[in-house]
Structure 1
Amino acid sequence: MRHGFLARIFTIRHYMHSSLLRIFICQATYYPGLCEPISQGGLGFDYYVNLSASEMWSSFLQNVPDQEWNMNKIVSSLIGNRHSTNKMLLFAENHGQSISGGRSYAEILFGDIKEHGAGSKETLLRGCSLHKMIRLITFTIGGRAYLNFMGNEFGHPKRVEFPMPSNNFSFSLANRQWDLLEKEMHHDLFLFDKELMGLDENEKILTRSLPNVHHVNETTKVISYIRGPFLFIYNFHPTDSFERYSVGVEEAGEYRIILNTDEIEYGGQGNIKHDQYLQRTISRRIDGLRNCLEVSLPCRTAQVYKLSRILRI
């Protein structure tokens, strides 16, 4: 009965507003037929939400030391069911995790910045680095759509709590502090988010072929994948940096960094100099691919390379 009711609603919706409205449903287990056409017996939803991604990040941030993060777990949680990836929507952080007693990722990572002592610089650097890396890999590794929780784009530090009897109907946490956009760390995180959104607007990342995840190393904490002409590389290791880290690519040519989480303007340290932004492949088979790049890979950073020139050998 419920299936038939929803099917009728979506039939009318598609008929009247086929290009104006997209409907998705939060569904952790991917109910069969959820996003299949109504004409084929499905429910006709445009997207389903992969809830396991945000649950994984929340668990890692609160319960797992950085050096024990599992790279294969990250990849498998974000990619989800390959048979349904074309209909998958991802978010790094969802509203339910920071409502009424929960904590936003920024609050977990930074705590109360005013109370930071001598270790505040290291805390802020770690928090900014992971906040950017989590958003970048969640946005680009899988699925066809991405949802941003309001305030996540600039690291809003407080949870959301609506007026209710338990808080005497207070509005003190029922808001977003937009003035933070002009302040140091939050301004840097917001600039990165704008660049991340611009990456998809200009390069159409989400509409390209699904990624080939070709390098996942638990020892070095490095993840790399290719999506169209783009190479994504992440070093989640909390302390180890690499001057010449080898990752595979199929096409021989020149690859240029188009997004770097370690840029100073995004709250990074600027460890990769601009004369290192352009790299040429080496004819050496690695990761099952015909060529490789040897790249600088500082700890807790990620880079996006674009194939800018193909070399025919």
Structure 2
Amino acid sequence: MENSQKLALVREETWLAQYEAQIQRRFDRYQEAIREIDNFSGNIIEYASVHNFYGIHFEPWRKGWVYREWAPAAKQLYFFGDFNNWDRNSHPMKKGARGDWEIFLPFEHYKDSFIHGSKVKVHVIADNGALDRIPAYIRRVIQDEKTHDVAGQLWFAKDFKWTDQSYSTKKSLKQPLIYECHIGMAQEKMGVGTYQEFEELTLPRIQAAGYNTIQLMAVMEHPYYGSFGYHVSNFFAPTSRFGTPEELKSLVNKAHEMGIAVVIDIVHSHAIKNVNEGLNEFDGSEDQYFHPGDKGYHEAWDSKVFNYAKREVQQFLLSNIRYWLEEFHFDGFRFDGVTSIMYHHHGLFMDFDSVALYFDENVDEDAIVYLQLANTLIHSFKPQSISIAEDMSGMPGLARPIAEGGIGFDFRMAMGVPDFWIKTLKHKQDEEWDMFELWHQLTNRPAAERSIGYAESHDQALVGDQTLAFRLMDKEMYFSMSVLQQNLVVDRGIALHKLIRLITLTLGGEGYLNFIGNEFGHPDWVDFPREGNDWSHQHARRQWSLVDDPLLRYAHLDRWDKAIIKLANDYQLLASSPADQLHLDPDKKILAYERAGLIFVFSFHPTESFSDLPIHVKNPGKYQLLLNSDETEFSGFERLDGKVKYFTDEHQCIKMYIPNRTVLVLEKL
């Protein structure tokens, strides 16, 4: 093939040359899939509209409600609920040619019984028995507090009045500064937080912190709270444990008024295996939505794996994407478990130490096409949407346009960065930190793919792991965070916490993510109520009172986070070109670089400070301090005079006093 005709991914990434045929085949399969979709539905947006056909809908022209379900292998379906006194036999559904079942309820006969807030189920008779199920496309699911019985709930609330028509995600797309959060654990109370509490109490904190994007976890309905929202049962239902759909819409609307984009974790990598609540064996077969046999079971997650090749499954998942964008005005998605989606082995026990592993028989090419279709839909339906992939395999082209041979995501999570910090803190003494390795780990990423850098996310906060703050300060966080006392462990921890976060922000990617509360060094891990902890909410909340207390040093870390996020916003740091290294001294543990016209000078030395240390800069002139981690407002020791100006010498260097465990940010006047 002529070089000019090669896909850009192959043309620009010469190390992929021997896999040109596989990459071209992926692109060809995608194009064939789009052609089939266009022939079948006209376009991908219409293809992703089956949620408006299946499920429960009022049809004005027929003057009544229709309920439709796709269940090709089922023998008989019965619709029942409050409207018919839970009679499993009185309302049989009729089966159509494609395996669709349907029942119509005339308004005049059911206007007083088929009402807002009433509960429904579908009784399915199939090869796996006669079971009561939740409609697959149901929009709301509730659990009885006494009996724990789960049922679908009719939700006929009046249309929500949106006021976000003028909102644009341009700033978030340019450099997403993401605040990852969980509605239920966002409050300090010993209980489950609500959408309304988040809107009223938490959104103002996020706005004040300067983040331009929130990433909501656990929005899709899941029966087990402790799953962190990753065992989804009802894909079209926002979880009712946090409140009503209108309260979720209000939250999104308010965020948009504040200039904040809202993306959600979307879980299309697997589904809960529960028969009572979820899709598993809905029509009696094991392969309706999922692969049959072992291929359809995710051993590590104890869940079911979608069959992405099946048209009805594609439409279910793509319609799910459109639904969240359209109905709730979400601005995009962080796709969970993309590694699991892309490979038949789900990335389990894999090191991905060979390029061949990205193109061998273990790659699920149907799943790759699905991800390409998902990104096509997202950017067709809402062009300013944000799509982020969570992949630990390093799949080439994941965050490149499909036309270039990529998979089409806007960003990929830089999952190696938090792993690097954990390994460093666990296995190296401070004096063993390697500046060359640090620079390499934070800057080694595909030039044409944008990454979301982060020092820690919810993964590092879970029980069995530790947050960076806890890893740095351990139990001293509980006893020695007063501003009225000095503690060497806390001093070290706070200093490194500040350095780690700023160097990750400025080197680690084209976007940045922080998990709720970690910006101020929240002391606790995350542990949801479960039998093993006597169903306690002690560690499934955020203790805002700690950061609000001026006598505690959590407030100092919070001020630092606000300062670095403001720096990123003011100078569009992450939207600028990658950093240029200016100085690296492995013995003195000094690292300096330039990004967005600013000079960053880091000292990771545990004990020594250095006087008149020359730092070469690209532009001669006069420089001044813009940000200094050693200031007392950030729990520093005020060892520098912020008013001093720095002039370049004949060697185009500025000479500085650099205290140990400090970062200095300079700007040319």
With the length of structure 2 as denominator, give the TM-score of the two structures.
Answer: 0.43
Summarize deviations over 1:17-69 as a string: whole Å, max 9, x none: 111x2111122342122112123332111111111111111122222111111
* 3-state DSSP of counterpart to 1:83: coil
- Is structure 2 residue 461 aligned with structure 1 residue 98? yes
Partner of 1:288: none
Q: Which has the higher contact order (CA 8 A, sep 6+)?
A: 1
Partner of 1:10: 375
Greater mean alpha carbon deviation, residues 38-47 or residues 214-223 = 38-47
Q: How do residues 138-153 of structure 1 correspond to structure 2 at under 5 angstroms?
A: 138-153=504-519
Greater mean alpha carbon deviation, residues 3-12 or residues 239-248 = 3-12
Which of structures 1 and 2 has the bigger CA Rg? Answer: 2
Partner of 2:143: none
* 3-state DSSP of counterpart to 1:209: coil
Identity of aligned residues (%): 31
Q: Aligned-pair distance for 1:230?
A: 0.9
Cα separation, 2, equivalents of 1:142 and 1:103: 21
Q: Which of 287, 304, 307 is 2:668 aligned to?
A: 307
Q: How do residues 1-313 of structure 1 correspond to structure 2 at under 5 angstroms?
A: 1-19=366-384, 21-84=385-448, 86-113=449-476, 114-115=478-479, 121-183=487-549, 184-276=552-644, 278-284=645-651, 291-308=652-669
| Closer, same or farther: CA 55–238 of 1 in aligned 2, 3 Å | same
Q: Which amino acid aligns with 1:33?
A: G
Unmatched tracts of structure 2, length 5 or more: 1-365
Cα separation, 2, equivalents of 1:82 and 1:237: 30
Q: Which amino acid aligns with 1:6?
A: L
CA contact (8 A) 1:89 1:146 kept: yes
Unmatched tracts of structure 1, length 5 or more: 285-290, 309-313
Higher helix proportion = 1
Cα separation, 1, equivalents of 2:621 and 2:646: 8
Cα separation, 2, equivalents of 1:217 and 1:82: 26
* 3-state DSSP of counterpart to 2:515: coil
CA contact (8 A) 1:142 1:210 kept: no
4+ aligned runs moved over 6 Å, structure 1: none
Q: CA RMSD in A?
A: 1.7
CA contact (8 A) 2:498 2:629 kept: yes
Q: Report the count of equivalent residues.
A: 298
Q: Which amino acid aligns with 2:650?
A: S
Q: Aligned-pair distance for 1:261?
A: 0.6
| Closer, same or farther: CA 68–216 of 1 in aligned 2, 3 Å | same
Q: Aligned-pair distance for 1:190?
A: 0.3
CA contact (8 A) 1:61 1:108 kept: yes
Q: Aligned-pair distance for 1:97?
A: 1.7
CA contact (8 A) 2:625 2:643 kept: no
CA contact (8 A) 2:399 2:406 kept: yes
Q: Aligned-pair distance for 1:176?
A: 1.1
With the length of structure 1 as denominator, give the TM-score of the two structures.
Answer: 0.90
